[in-house]
Amino acid sequence: MTGKFDDAARAAWLYFVAGKTQDEIAGKMSVSRQTAQRLISLAISERLVRVTLEHPIAECMRLADDICARFGLATCDVSPSDAGSAQAGLGAIHSAARMIERWLGSDKPVVMALGTGRSMRAAVDQVAAMDCPAHRLVSLVGNISADGSASYYDVISYLAGRVKAHYYPMPLPVVARSSEERRLLTELATVRSVAALARGADVAFVGIGHVGPNAPLREDGFISAAELDDLIAGGGVGEIVGWVFDRDGKVLAGRTNARVASVHVGDLTGGARIAVATGAKKAAAIRAALAGGLVTGLVTDEATARLILGGGKRGK
């Protein structure tokens, strides 16, 4: 008895690689045309097949090189913008997923640190199922939201399940109620060991949030409106796993930062630190993070890349 995914993979193989029509496949596999179509569509939705672009689009490459040069990044991926689509940033998310897969495909065991946020969640959704029990995924940021529930885009457990890796979540709120509470929490033995693991990670993937109207930090209920205003007044423009920084990428002293319980991405030692972020609203935050050297790599899309490089003045 052959499994369902096996049939799906076989049908997809015949369809994409051998170039058969669904009718022919149906004939070969002795099923109806509809079933063949369903198998192929299953293979696509389960990501048993992968379509990749071999040809680097010159314009995107150019933007990526410019960003690398300007901010001294180790890696930069710019994907084509899907202008005007509902799925903003889809391209960047797709290439982030592929980059994650590449790291997880490594032979030697990898410690991968992960932030949270919508982009990150969307990216791990696109990671193909794999089997990598040797790798470890570690969270940079607490998974407890303000009301005590453990929601907030649970990136790490989803990815861990999908790739069958061990994972180390952080049983913490994102922002503690006081700096004293933060101190107590981060001194817990379990938290300390997870944080230590995170700081030594081989690679970290994080989202970047903007600080301003509709800041994700506020929208997701981690800080109050008053706190957000305070951060803006203090020069905050962006945030990574809760740590707010100004336009130079310098982490603000005090304010909510005094109570953020997550691992600051700047504290990671040695490993690659890759940001995944797109969107006009985020451009200033991304530029600041790059300027401050908070990350060593960026995955974004064409439109955002132009904004980061300075409002398209370099275009043409």
Binding site for DNA (CB under 7 A): 4, 15, 21-23, 31-35, 37-38, 40-41
Residue 42 in contact with its own copies, rule: CB under 8 A:
no
Smallest distance, DNA to C-beta of residue 100, A? 27
Give the residue from 112, 98, 107 showing the smallest Cα distance to 47: 98
Question: What burial class does residue 187 get, using C-beta atoms within 10 Å of its C-beta: 0-12 exposed, 13-18 middle, 19+ buried?
Answer: exposed
Shortest Å, Cβ 43 to its own copies: 7
**Which one among 40, 76, 94, 115 touches its own copies, defined by CB under 8 A?**
94
- d(Cα 157, Cα 176) in Å, to the nearest integer? 22
Contact in structure between 219 and 213 (CB atoms under 8 Å): no
- Residue 224 binds: one of its own copies, DNA, none (C-beta under 5 to 8 A by kind): none
Is residue 43 close enough to count as binding its own copies by CB under 8 A? yes
β-bridge mates for residue 299, sequence order: 77, 276
Task: Give the three-class secondary structure for 244.
Answer: strand
Shortest Cβ 236–DNA spacing (Å): 43
Q: How many CA atoms lie within 13 A of 83 on its CB side?
A: 3
Phi and psi, residue 227, nearest 5°: -60, -40
Q: How far apart are CA 288 and CA 10, in angstroms?
A: 48
Instruction: Name the one range near its own copies by CB under 8 A: 86-94, 191-199, 252-260, 289-297.
Output: 86-94
Residue 38: contacted member of its own copies, DNA, none (CB under 5 to 8 Å, by partner type): DNA
129 interacts with its own copies by CB under 8 A: yes
Q: Is 72 buried (19+), middle (13-18) or exposed (0-12) by CB count in 10 A? A: exposed
Q: Counting contacts by CB under 8 A, is residue 62 touching its own copies?
A: no
What b/e readout covers 43-68, taking b as 16+ CB neighbours within 10 angstroms?
A: bbeeebbeeeeeeeeeebeebbebbb
Instruction: Name which of 18 and 196 has its Cβ closer to DNA.
Output: 18
- Asked if 47 interacts with its own copies (CB under 8 A), we say yes
Judged by CB, which is closer to its own copies: 132, or 237?
132
Q: Does 92 bind its own copies (CB under 8 A)?
A: no
33 binds, options DNA, its own copies, none, Cβ within 5 to 8 A by partner type: DNA
- Decide whether 39 or 132 has the Cβ nearer to DNA: 39
Residue 32 binds what, of DNA, its own copies, none (CB under 5 to 8 Å, by partner type)? DNA
Q: What residue 314 binds from its own copies, DNA, none (CB within 5 to 8 A, per partner kind)?
A: none
Query: Would you state the structure tokens that stand for residue 9, as one six-digit string?
Result: 């993979």
Q: Name which of DNA, its own copies, none residue 40 binds, using a CB cut-off of 5 to 8 Å depending on partner kind.
A: DNA
Q: How many CA atoms lie less than 13 Å away from 71 in the CB half-sphere?
A: 28
